[in-house]
Amino acid sequence: MTKKLWFQVGIGLLIGLLIIKYVIEIHWIFKPVVIIIKTIFIPVLISGVLFYISEPLQRWLEKKGLPRWGSISTIVLVLAGVVTGLLFIIGNPITEQVNRLVQNAPSIGDKIMDATDFVLENKDNLPPQVENFIDSVTNSIQDIVVVGSKSIVNFVSGTVSTIFTLILVPFFYIFMLKDHEKFAPNIYKVFTGERRTWVKKTLEEINEVLKNYVQGQVLVSLILATMMLIGYLIIRLDYALLLAIVSFFMNMIPFIGPWISLAPAILVAIIQDPILVVWVCVITLVAQQLESNLITPNIMGKSLDIHPLTVITVVLAAGNIGGFVAIMIGIPTYAVLKVIVKNIYEERKKIKETATKTL
Q: pLDDT value at position 151?
A: 46
Residue pair 311/300 in contact (Cβ under 8 Å)? The answer is no
Q: 192-218, pLDDT tens digit by residue? A: 888 888 888 888 888 888 888 888 888
CA 262 vs. chain centroid, Å, equals 17
Burial of 254 (0-12, 13-18, 19+ CB in 10 A): buried
Residue pair 195/348 in contact (Cβ under 8 Å)? The answer is no
What is the SS3 assignment for 321?
helix
Ranges of each domain in the chain: 31-123+160-177+195-354
CA 41 vs. chain centroid, Å, equals 14
**pTM, full prediction:** 0.68
Q: 305-338, pLDDT tens digit by residue? A: 676 677 778 777 877 777 767 777 888 888 888 8
CA distance 74 to 127: 64
CA distance 261 to 263: 6
What is the SS3 assignment for 165?
helix
CA distance 112 to 302: 45
For residues 113 and 57, which has the higher predicted lDDT (pLDDT)?
57
Helix, strand, coil percentages in the chain from 3-state DSSP, rounded to 5:
90, 0, 10
Q: For residue 250, give every residue at least 6 positions away whose Cβ sits within 8 Å of its Cβ, in sequence order, or none.
A: 257, 258, 260, 261
